Amino acid sequence: MSVTSASPDVRIAVSTAIFSVRTTDDGDQLMIPLVRRTREPFLGQWALPGGWLGGSEGLEDAAGRTLAETTALAPSWLEQLYTFGDIDRSPDARVVSVVYWALLRSDLVEAQRATAGAPENVEWFPVEALPELAFDHQHIIDYAVWRLRNKAGYSRIAAALLPDEFTLAELRGVYETVLGKRLDPSNFRRLLEGSEALVPTEAFRTGPHRPARLFQYNADIDLAELGPI
Amino acid sequence: MSVTSASPDVRIAVSTAIFSVRTTDDGDQLMIPLVRRTREPFLGQWALPGGWLGGSEGLEDAAGRTLAETTALAPSWLEQLYTFGDIDRSPDARVVSVVYWALLRSDLVEAQRATAGAPENVEWFPVEALPELAFDHQHIIDYAVWRLRNKAGYSRIAAALLPDEFTLAELRGVYETVLGKRLDPSNFRRLLEGSEALVPTEAFRTGPHRPARLFQYNADIDLAELGPI
């Protein structure tokens, strides 16, 4: 097959899988917001937030814009995931989707909702208990979760899920939720104390237990660089 | 900015950065084929092989097709790199490029050229000595080289640059050329002998030196899985 000019009926969409760790009745869970579709195809089914690429905006700008328009969320971290372009992924048209993945600090989810108002048709789901999804979005989310877990294993990226200050137990909790497994507290503490990733503050988390020191991430180190875990 | 329908003037191109290790007067070098442009914009300048996405082909198929049409090469390994979509990357039109990176076994470069005939306007360049490039292709190649070096550091991907059978010295040579640094022969041998990545054959490479045993990669292990290096 020879193609010498662009096919005019290929459309470009941009979508974002944005993760946060949220506290539920079942404990802390890795969750993702989905948007219920209000038109065909897949009317009434859940899909990733997204929209069409504008003629005068870059891809990352389009990801931020469509995420804000559909969910009123602004990510703490945003990175391109992959471009999906199978010819049969949408029943009506040929759509190529440039997909981003993103992280959102737990403490900002409610704050952003309070400021922007909660958009209709948006609901958060645990990644382990997703509803039936439109298009190939289940496949896309599976890949995004894999990428998040992979990257959490070799970088400090999980910091983008935490407030500015956190205890070591809170940091370990986020890693455990993202990775879906328990981590040994002593090993975890040793790994982090041996790295330059964390900066102790003078503040402590107080409560019914022994006061726990609050830490910050070292701002001089890029979150995506190789980390201590 | 709100965009509710696809902008009709965004076109999708697919390009491929394909690497091979080739022997030159300056020794083995990591090289890439470029295509001299025969039309504006950037008439006469060098660019990555590529073309427009067809309406009825997937992205990976389009990468393979446009690579074959422009260079007559068929990759030993092909993987999506990144999608580039800055609004000003092409002077005439809004073009989003889905870029693949690929590897080609050294022994197949000449074989494929002999079979398909050498296309006009194609020339191989060492990645360390590229000519002036059209569009943002220098930036794209820089990123592709980074990805190749990164992936070679934690997987067996460099095997896609070698014939089926090779000596340990030949394998080390490919890693040295890709990574751009010398590797200690004893450490290299020890790393590989301690892994299940290589299968010794009964054959030897003979010549002026001591005969060297030929190895094959273990076909049961995916090239992209974590490797011994």
Q: What is the pLDDT of residues B157-173, one digit of tens each?
A: 888 899 989 999 999 99
How many whole angstroms separate alpha carbon A222 and alpha carbon A228? 13
CA A190 to chain centre: 28
Q: Which pLDDT score, from 0 to 100, does residue A153 have?
A: 80
> Across the interface, which of A52, A54, A59 has its CB nearest the CB of B83?
A59
Q: With beta carbons less than 8 A apart as the criterion, state whether B113 and B122 touch.
A: no
Å between A54 CA and nearest CA of chain B: 6
pLDDT tens digits for range B208-228:
888 999 999 887 776 665 444
Q: Which residues of A are less than 8 Å from B4 in CB distance?
A: 51-52
Local structure of B174: helix, strand or coil: helix
Confidence of residue A2 (pLDDT cuts 50, 70, 90): very low
Q: Cβ–Cβ of A58/B86 closer than 8 Å?
A: yes
How many whole angstroms separate alpha carbon A31 and alpha carbon A135? 20
Q: What value does the mean pLDDT take over residues A91-106?
A: 94
What are residue B51's DSSP bridge partners? Answer: B14
The answer to whether the peptide bond before residue A41 is cis (omega within 30 degrees of 0) is yes
Q: Is A79 on the interface with B (CB under 8 A)?
A: no
Q: Which pLDDT score, from 0 to 100, does residue A123 have?
A: 94
Q: Residues of chain B with pLDDT > 90: what percent?
A: 69
Ordered by where they begin, the domains of chain B are 10-154 (3.90.79.10), 157-217 (1.10.10.10)
Find, among B53, B75, B55, the residue nearest to B64 by Cα: B75
ipTM of the complex: 0.89
Q: Is B146 on the interface with A (CB under 8 A)?
A: no
Q: Cβ–Cβ of A55/B2 closer than 8 Å?
A: no
Q: What value does the mean pLDDT take over residues B66-93?
A: 94
> Across the interface, which of B5, B83, B87 has its CB nearest the CB of A98?
B83
Q: Is B4 on the interface with A (CB under 8 A)?
A: yes
Substitution target in A83, A98, A99, A136 with the highest count of B β-carbons within 10 Å is A83
Å between B204 CA and nearest CA of chain A: 40
Task: Work out the mean pLDDT of chain A and round it to a whole number.
Answer: 89
Å between B141 CA and nearest CA of chain A: 18
Q: Which pLDDT score, from 0 to 100, does residue B58 have?
A: 97
| B184 dihedral zone (left: phi>0; alpha: psi -120 to 50; beta) | beta
pLDDT tens digits for range A146-184:
999 988 887 888 888 999 899 999 999 999 999 999 999
Q: Cβ–Cβ of B53/A3 closer than 8 Å?
A: yes
Q: Is A36 on the interface with B (CB under 8 A)?
A: no
pLDDT tens digits for range A12-31:
999 999 999 999 998 999 99
Q: Is A3 on the interface with B (CB under 8 A)?
A: yes
Q: Is A51 on the interface with B (CB under 8 A)?
A: yes
**A209 CB-near residues (< 8 Å, 6+ apart):** none
Q: Which pLDDT score, from 0 to 100, does residue A217 have?
A: 85
- Given a cut of 80, whether residue A116 has pLDDT beyond it is no
Q: Which pLDDT score, from 0 to 100, does residue A225 have?
A: 56
DSSP letters, A5-54, are S--TTEEEEEEEEEEEEEEETTEEEEEEEEEE--SSSSTT-EE-SEEEPP
> Across the interface, which of A8, A57, A59 has its CB nearest the CB of B8?
A8
Please tell me which residue of chain A has the smallest CA distance to B87.
A58
Find, among B40, B36, B67, B38, the residue nearest to B51 by Cα: B67
Q: Is A57 on the interface with B (CB under 8 A)?
A: yes
> Across the interface, which of A2, A7, A82 has its CB nearest the CB of B53?
A7
Q: Is A5 on the interface with B (CB under 8 A)?
A: yes
Å between A99 CA and nearest CA of chain B: 10
How many whole angstroms separate alpha carbon B36 and alpha carbon B121? 5
Q: Cβ–Cβ of B55/A7 closer than 8 Å?
A: yes
Å between B80 CA and nearest CA of chain A: 8
Q: Which residue has the tokens 């001591």?
A: B210
Q: Which residues of B are less than 8 Å from A85 in CB distance?
A: 53, 58-59, 98
Q: Which residue has the tokens 């981003």?
A: A100
**Structure-block tokens of residue B13:** 């191109």
Find, among B141, B39, B32, B131, the residue nearest to B97 by Cα: B141
Q: Cβ–Cβ of B12/A10 closer than 8 Å?
A: yes
Q: What value does the mean pLDDT take over residues A198-205?
A: 91
> Across the interface, which of B1, B8, B83 has its CB nearest the CB of A83?
B83
> Across the interface, which of B3, B13, B59 has its CB nearest the CB of A85?
B59
Please tell me which residue of chain B has the smallest CA distance to A82.
B82
